[in-house]
Amino acid sequence: MTTPAEGPALDVRGLAKTFGTKVAVADIDLVVPPGCFFGLVGPNGAGKTTSLKMMTGLLRPDAGDVHIGALDVWRSPVEAKSVIGVLPEDLALFERLTGTELLTYTGLLRRMDPEVIAARANELLDVLGLREAAGALVVDYSHGMRKKVALAAALLHGPRILFLDEPFEAIDPVSARTIRSVLERFTDGGHTVVFSSHVMELVERLCDRVAVMNLGRIVADGPLDEIRRGRSLEDAFVDLVGAAETAGEQLGWLGSSSG
């Protein structure tokens, strides 16, 4: 899928962020080729969300550069953001708008033609199974529906690269399959997806390349098979970030019949 002659879809150099005395992201480098399905995995608090926010121009880094193709996210934010789609982890949306209104709003913010917005919004709502709920307020949506409408908003302007923070967290299998098929279609068209996730099976199934983050640093980065080295991704992940074994002697009462 990757064409060596093309530049990377995402090029991150020396990205760093500190909150008070806590180092959230410590000098990370990342190169993501175009057309790639890239997984960013790591335990809670590893710095994934902070990194994604800095890569998408939502949080100013203390140091470092982020390029989307040839566009510098922090020096040419308007141009860079025109080729980026974002699905944030916290799903803070304008939830007193309906699904259709939210997509219209997002499209007009991006200065799209109203007719194009209407056509694409209808298509996205159909594909994502939100047709019935198009006129309901987003505040009344389920978690899965919120993810799907946020994904529709991220795709509406036809971005070249999508940044998705935990897109498969806490959603039902049907919604997960719908989102997955839309993303696969997106990368089949030569576009790039960068997403963070805790669901290792999904990362294994979807991603060409993976980066593992821990304590604000990239501890491994490369093609999926290189990271796994014959193990499951979960085992590789646990080895890389380290995890305490559950004590066998404790919790002995679990599973016993006495209350």
Q: Which residues bind other proteins (CB under 8 A)?
A: 56-60, 77-78, 81-82, 84, 86, 88, 90, 92-98, 100-101, 104-106, 108-111, 114, 132-137, 139-140, 153
The Cα–Cα gap between 199 and 182 comes to 18
Nearer to other proteins, 195 or 227 (CB): 195
Closest CB 223 distance from other proteins, rounded Å: 30
Nearer to other proteins, 96 or 143 (CB): 96
Nearer to other proteins, 49 or 187 (CB): 49
Nearer to other proteins, 58 or 174 (CB): 58
Identify the CA nearest to 71 among candidates 88, 83, 54.
Answer: 83
Answer whether 71's CB lies under 8 Å from 83's CB: yes
Closest CB 45 distance from other proteins, rounded Å: 8
Closest CB 153 distance from other proteins, rounded Å: 7
243: phi > 0 → left, psi -120 to 50 → alpha, else beta; which? beta
DSSP string, 124-163: HHHHTT-STTTTSBGGGS-HHHHHHHHHHHHHTT--SEEE
Closest CB 186 distance from other proteins, rounded Å: 17
Answer whether 199's CB lies under 8 Å from 164's CB: no
